[in-house]
Chains A and B, each alone.
Chain A
């Protein structure tokens, strides 16, 4: 199956700082999502981005499918950004199974 690797595993930021989270995957994908798991455990959709670039407020994501990686950018971080960020990837083509990475645990301190 597809292998998914996320880096860094842990990240501590001062409020207001910017950060880049990376997701590498081992095979071509047609399905890639980024999620934020908040401190209460809820998994929140951030982006569905099998290719290209998307932006939503202070967050943006870029996937370069040919080079098998995706990046999540967080600008002007806030304490509410704390939690774990997961990417999930799948082959698509009508097969909906996705594999989750191990996540990046982000802590934003005031």
Chain B
């Protein structure tokens, strides 16, 4: 199993630009999570999906952030327009088990720097 795949691994962009982060979950997993990690706030859940449907987006910081999951093997997190305070490591994770808690497996993360 290839594990959770994220791209790009590093992204440097200028303030105001659109940023798109990508994630491929583990095959067969029906939950997908987007997290953000910063020194100040630690690991925060932004949004999670079950069977491609967003379940809880209460962690999405503001309207500049949006996430989609068009199919079971692909999800995107988009920031438009980006701001320097969005600089962070963004992780995607997936887990299996409808209705039953199961352990989450994390991708390698995307380190985003907004200048």
Contact = CB atoms under 8 A, between A and B. Distances in A.
Interface residues of A, number: 22
Given A96-B50, A97-B48, A42 B108 contact: yes
B63 interface: no
Contact of A98 (B42, B45, B89, B105): B45
Q: Main SS of the interface on chain B?
A: strand
Contacts of A50: 101
Contacts of A41: 89, 108-109, 111
Contacts of A102: 42
Contact of B101 (A42, A90, A103): A90
A16 B45 CA distance: 35
Interface of B: 31, 33, 42-45, 48, 50, 55-56, 89, 91, 93, 95, 99-106, 108-109, 111
Interface in A17-35: 30-31, 33, 35
B108 A86 contact: no
Contacts of B33: 96
B85 to A, nearest CB: 20
A97 B45 contact: yes
Contacts of B100: 94
A48 interface: yes
